[in-house]
């Protein structure tokens, strides 16, 4: 009976066999793991992000290892370009290889620090055969001379410039931290985003109080909860013309159901697979199918967005931010 259920959906115009996407992570930098993901039923994979900062760091390290007293400046420039090209090609060659081996959409992911390189990197991903591109944009607003609108304009410039220079669908993995989130995300959609991925999580710093130094606290795993994403997926469902993908805190089939009901077109998972293994993909999709059977749904489109802000009887429930006893249903 479960086999008769239709889990297919559309994301940025791409046809997916299921709404479950593997988000950008180290797991998607292994061909064998990606083949297993496809076997277990994922709709698409987002490749591990290529970071311009990392390529620059690797290039600088290679140059530092050379004795500049014995290397001509022109040769140094050649070595720099060669090292950067090798790093690019390692990533793009992997995309090309994956595309030959799997039938699911392969979405490249890039993170740049130089305004001019977003387009350069995007074109390389498209030329490598990626079915779509996800921009992993993270700009820390620490310049006291710039206003909120200045930073938002920078995002818009990046999105529009990339969109103008590629023909494949474009997703933007965006931050929660904007002063007027609805308007900002709406503007990203107008600027050319074919999908918005809600929300990005960022590297955090910590202090080692014994050695008195700054250390890594890793990725902020608690800063953006599942319910926060659920709320904004629901609200944005009726305010943008692009696809929506939910990410953060999705660990079960029930979580997939909730985000789809709220209005997401797809969901992205990563962390849970490190904890439970790739076979958990099957468990999540089986749980989704079980729920669909229980409620007499035969396809994703039958219930997608049914509990979004615009479709529920009490939309104000999504807007409440203060706790009240009556709202919580307790005495």
pLDDT digits (tens, 9 = 90+) for 4-40: 899 999 999 999 999 999 999 999 999 999 999 999 9
Angle (CA) 132 153 13, round 5°:
20
Q: What is the pLDDT of residue 276?
A: 97
Q: What is the pLDDT of residue 138?
A: 80
Averaged confidence pLDDT in the chain: 86
Tokens 């969109």 label which residue? 163
Which positions ≥6 away from 44 have C-beta within 8 Å? 11, 14, 16, 21, 22, 104, 105, 106, 107, 131, 266
Q: What is the mean pLDDT of residues 71-92?
A: 53
pLDDT tens digit sequence for 175-218: 888 989 999 999 999 999 999 999 988 777 889 999 999 887 76
Cα 224 to Cα 232: distance, rounded to the nearest angstrom: 11
Q: Which helix (H) or strand (E) holds 213?
A: strand 213-219
pLDDT band at residue 328 using 50, 70 and 90 as cut-offs:
low
Q: What is the pLDDT of residue 52?
A: 56
- Taking only Cα atoms into account, the Rg of the chain, rounded to an integer number of angstroms, comes to 21
Q: Which helix (H) or strand (E) holds 164?
A: helix 148-165
**CA dist list (Å): 242 to 68, 172, 194:** 51, 11, 5
Instruction: Give the DSSP letter string of 34-100.
Output: HHHHHHHT-SEEEPPPEEHHHHHHHHHHHHHTS-GGGS-HHHHHHHHHHHHHHHHHHHHHHHHHHHH
Cα 170 to Cα 17: distance, rounded to the nearest angstrom: 19
Q: What is the mean pLDDT of residues 103-115?
A: 89
**Residue 133, pLDDT above cutoff 90:** yes
Domains of the chain: 2-7+19-328 (3.20.20.70)
Task: Say what percent of the chain tops pLDDT 70.
Answer: 81
**What does pTM read for this prediction?**
0.85
């Amino acid at each position: 009976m479960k086999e008769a259920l239709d889990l297919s959906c559309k994301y940025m115009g791409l046809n997916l066999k299921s709404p479950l996407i593997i988000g950008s992570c180290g797991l998607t930098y292994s061909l064998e793991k990606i083949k297993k993901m496809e076997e277990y039923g994922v709709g698409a994979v987002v490749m591990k992000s290529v970071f311009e900062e990392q390529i620059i760091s690797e290039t600088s390290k290679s140059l530092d290892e050379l004795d500049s007293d014995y290397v001509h400046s022109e040769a140094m420039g050649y070595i720099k370009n060669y090292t950067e090209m090798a790093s690019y090609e390692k990533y793009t060659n992997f995309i090309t290889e994956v595309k030959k081996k799997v039938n699911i959409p392969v979405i490249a992911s890039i993170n740049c620090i130089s305004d001019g390189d977003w387009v350069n990197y995007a074109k390389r991903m498209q030329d490598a055969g990626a079915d779509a591109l996800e921009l992993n944009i993270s700009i820390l607003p620490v310049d006291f001379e710039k206003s909120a609108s200045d930073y938002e304009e920078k995002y818009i410039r990046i999105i529009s410039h990339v969109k103008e220079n590629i023909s494949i669908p474009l997703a933007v993995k965006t931050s929660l931290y904007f002063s007027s989130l609805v308007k900002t995300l709406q503007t990203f959609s107008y600027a050319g985003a074919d999908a918005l991925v809600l929300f990005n999580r960022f590297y955090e710093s910590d202090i080692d109080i014994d050695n008195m130094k700054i250390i890594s606290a890793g990725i902020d795993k608690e800063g953006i909860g599942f319910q926060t994403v659920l709320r904004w997926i629901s609200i944005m469902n009726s305010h943008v013309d692009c696809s929506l993908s939910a990410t953060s805190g999705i660990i079960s089939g029930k979580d997939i159901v909730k985000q789809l009901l709220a209005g997401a077109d797809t969901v992205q998972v990563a962390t849970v697979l490190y904890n439970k293994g790739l076979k958990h993909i099957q468990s999540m999709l089986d749980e989704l199918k079980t729920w669909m059977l229980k409620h007499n749904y035969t396809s994703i489109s039958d219930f997608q967005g049914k509990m979004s802000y615009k479709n529920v009887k009490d939309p104000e429930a999504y807007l409440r931010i203060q706790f009240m006893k009556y709202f919580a249903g307790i005495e």
